[in-house]
């Protein structure tokens, strides 16, 4: 694909251009909300032993359902945009990437706990492989996918089903990357990285543009879905986003007089950082605050820890249930995520909190999502 320095600049305008390039190839996934979840989020939380009065939040939550995207994940956006940026000569030689593999038994206890055996079984790179294979088939391009020999038959069949040539390798990243290099030497195919490239970032950011538009449309039809219109709490120094005091002068100015349908904040999962960086790029300058969320299990919260240490953490070894977030933040994504004007903060959650959130979404919203999404 194009060299990072030759890619479009990481701006909202570039995200808009990316959306124009890919929208005929992707699903316009739905945005849903839930009165039950809104009421739960708006209930004051008493902290044992705390002396101060609990906050009085007034929140409305909106969920962008990328689980209904082609291949079942947002990765289709970045894959289609990456191919749209390749030259005819590059396309004629094909594209290549590699998939990870995680032993099924790692998640068996969790599957039993939720009584939804094998609801998810894809590693963090599998969705990219499927997305790239689909995008390549759509454009009549050859796709080479390097997969470990221990990959599940369903993953292999799914990848082949999109028309890709599957080439097997060992299970470690070093072994996979070595086979990828052999493929490139043999075919001159272009490597498409899973998240650490401007073209991928811009493609993933297109979901934020749709989210903005869809929330506005929902609120136009149902005014009860907005918390804006009464600025009394804001005038007294409270934010309707979370009920806590606003200490940032710019945030206070932005919070006053907001139009119905304006998003106060967006929270996105953080693994390699393609989605979070893309959303932060798309929403920069709009007044919407962007936050990242990641698991804390076995050091999976490399983003949060990196921000505290003021340096990117380059290696993550964790078996968190949120298998799509087991990767360190990418080099290109890090300057965006560590920029406070673009990403306000990154927060970590426990495995128990992830399971509770999954159960809540499944029981109350009837939406099946993977652990990395909640």
Catalytic residue selected from 100, 130, 151, 255: 100
Beta bridge partners of 293: 269, 347
Sheet holding 95-98, edge to edge: 165-169, 143-148, 95-98, 190-191
The Cα 160–Cα 276 span in angstroms is 29
Q: Which stretches does DSSP call E strand in the chain? A: 31-32, 63-64, 95-98, 143-148, 165-169, 190-191, 265-269, 289-295, 345-349
333 DSSP 8-state letter = T
Rg for the chain (alpha carbons), in Å?
21
Catalytic-residue membership of 99: no
Contacts of 90 (CB under 8 A, 6+ apart): 1, 190
The Cα 146–Cα 197 span in angstroms is 19
The Cα 143–Cα 165 span in angstroms is 6
Catalytic residue selected from 58, 64, 70, 75: 75
Catalytic-residue membership of 75: yes
Q: Which residues are catalytic?
A: 75, 100
């Amino acid at each position: 694909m194009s060299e990072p320095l030759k890619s479009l600049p990481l701006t909202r305008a570039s995200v808009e251009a990316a959306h124009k390039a890919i929208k005929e190839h992707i699903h316009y996934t739905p945005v849903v909300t839930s009165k039950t979840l809104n009421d739960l989020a708006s209930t004051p939380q008493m902290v044992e032993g705390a002396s101060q009065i609990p906050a009085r939040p007034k929140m409305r939550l909106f969920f962008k359902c990328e689980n209904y995207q082609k291949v079942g994940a947002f990765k289709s956006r970045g894959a289609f945009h990456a191919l749209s940026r390749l030259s005819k000569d590059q396309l004629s030689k094909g594209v290549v990437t590699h998939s990870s593999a995680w032993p099924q038994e790692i998640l068996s206890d969790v599957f039993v706990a939720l009584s939804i055996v094998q609801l998810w079984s894809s590693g963090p790179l599998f969705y990219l492989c499927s997305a790239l294979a689909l995008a390549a088939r759509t454009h009549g391009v050859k796709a080479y996918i390097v997969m470990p020999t221990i990959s599940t038959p369903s993953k292999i069949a799914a990848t082949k089903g999109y028309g890709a040539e599957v080439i097997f390798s060992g299970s470690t990243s070093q072994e996979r990357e070595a086979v990828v290099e052999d493929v490139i030497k043999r075919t001159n195919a272009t490597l498409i990285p899973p998240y650490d490239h401007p073209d991928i970032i811009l493609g993933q950011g297109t979901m934020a543009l749709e989210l903005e538009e869809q929330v506005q449309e929902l609120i136009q039809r149902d005014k009860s879905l907005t918390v804006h219109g009464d600025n009394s709490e804001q005038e007294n120094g409270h934010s309707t986003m979370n009920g806590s005091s606003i200490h940032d002068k710019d945030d206070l100015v932005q919070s006053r007089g907001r139009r119905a349908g304006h998003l106060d904040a967006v929270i996105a999962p953080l693994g390699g950082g393609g989605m979070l960086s893309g959303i932060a790029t798309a929403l920069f300058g709009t007044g919407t605050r962007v936050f990242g969320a990641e698991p804390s299990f076995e050091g999976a919260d490399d983003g949060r820890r990196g921000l505290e240490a003021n340096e990117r953490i380059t290696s993550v070894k964790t078996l968190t249930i949120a298998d799509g977030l087991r990767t360190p933040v990418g080099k290109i994504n890090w300057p965006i995520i560590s920029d406070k004007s673009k990403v306000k903060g990154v927060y970590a959650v426990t495995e128990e909190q992830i399971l509770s959130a999954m159960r809540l979404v499944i029981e109350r919203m009837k939406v099946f999502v993977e652990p990395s999404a909640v």
